[in-house]
Amino acid sequence: MKDLKYLAAFSIPLVACIGLYFKGNLVFLTPLYGFVIIPILELLFPIDTKNLSTENRDHKSKQKTFDWLLYLNLPMVYGLVFFGIYEATTTTIETYELIGMIISIGIVLGVNGINVAHELGHRQTTNERFIGKALLLPAQYMHFYIEHNFGHHLHAATPEDPATARYNQSVYSFWFTSIFRQYFKAWQIQQKLLKNNKKSFFSVKNDMFWFVLLQIGYLLMVSFFFGIIGFLFAFCSAIVGILLLESVNYIEHYGLMRLKTASGRYERVKEIHSWNSNHVIGRIVLYELTRHSDHHYKTSKKYQVLDCHDESPQMPFGYPTSMVLAMVPPLWFRIMNKRVPKEMILVK
């Protein structure tokens, strides 16, 4: 039964569905659940630093149950997105209800869409990567697959990485620098990949070109069937999902920088270059994303077998709580700046 604990990750889509169906003030149930109720639960539940035994880790790595818990997010996310668009365009609702519905779907896109796509994007099978890219589509963030896998994991915790927040950088500043730099970096990586394979820009192997066409096609299809309100719903909920992702990116590496070796190159990525959190509720709801240190240390490991490393910098709160704190920069700096190793602050 313990293996089914990750079913809790579906609680966010469930809460969103309740809000979409009943409307009224319940449209804000999802942000209330995600950023008030879950943080409270994180404070109440104990921190779990235990790791699996080698034998248990090998066994769980091969269990398909954990994979299917990821795959099920595909129909769930698309079903909720179109249910939300349908409800917003075919029923009489107030403006505040529309805003609440957009925020709710945006949170689903961030947690059960982009976050799950992140996990599947690291898999080796074509089918799993396809599902991952499909989950990025409604969030209008398909380039994340290229930049994250071929850029972020190479440059994490360095000034060259758009997804690493600098010391004393606010989350609001980071939203702009990360979003735009990641997008242009994805194009640069794509061009480099094409050049290495002796392919032209107009090659069918240009994934970035396909991503643009698919995302525009998605929005045009929504506009055709559901009009301007449907378009605004799809576009704005995608923005909410993107900002949620970038808020997670912000807290994952805030202020942590790799030092340079005598040769002038950056040291390899270690367990100390990502913020780790062992708060149980956040771990489960986010498919162990909070054990981010081990994810960067060994990117091939599946979410259910990620370890806690004693040397990893520990967050005082879980990821959901930390995202709330990041919204108040003075408070965030006061709590987190003293936890950043002094030698990393001096890295330029």
Q: Is the pTM of this model over 0.85?
A: yes
Q: What is the pLDDT of residue 348?
A: 59
Instruction: Give the mean pLDDT of 197-210.
Output: 93
Domain boundaries, the chain: 2-345
Name the amino acid, one letter, at 108. V
pLDDT tens-digit series, residues 221-246? 999 999 999 999 999 999 999 999 99
Q: For residues 59 and 331, give the distance between their C-alpha atoms in angstroms, rounded to a whole number.
A: 43
Q: What is the pLDDT of residue 297?
A: 83
Q: For residues 197 and 203, give the distance between their C-alpha atoms in angstroms, rounded to a whole number.
A: 11
- Rounded to the nearest angstrom, the gap between the alpha carbon of residue 200 and the centroid of all alpha carbons in its chain is 31
What percent of the chain has a predicted confidence (pLDDT) above 70? 99
Confidence check: pLDDT of 1 > 60: no
Q: What is the pLDDT of residue 225?
A: 98
Give DSSP secondary structure letters for 3-53. GGGGGGGGHHHHHHHHHHHH-GGGGGHHHHIIIIIHHHHHHHSPB------
Residue 246: CB atoms within 10 A of its CB come to 23
pLDDT tens-digit series, residues 100-153? 999 999 999 999 999 999 999 999 999 999 999 999 999 999 999 999 999 999
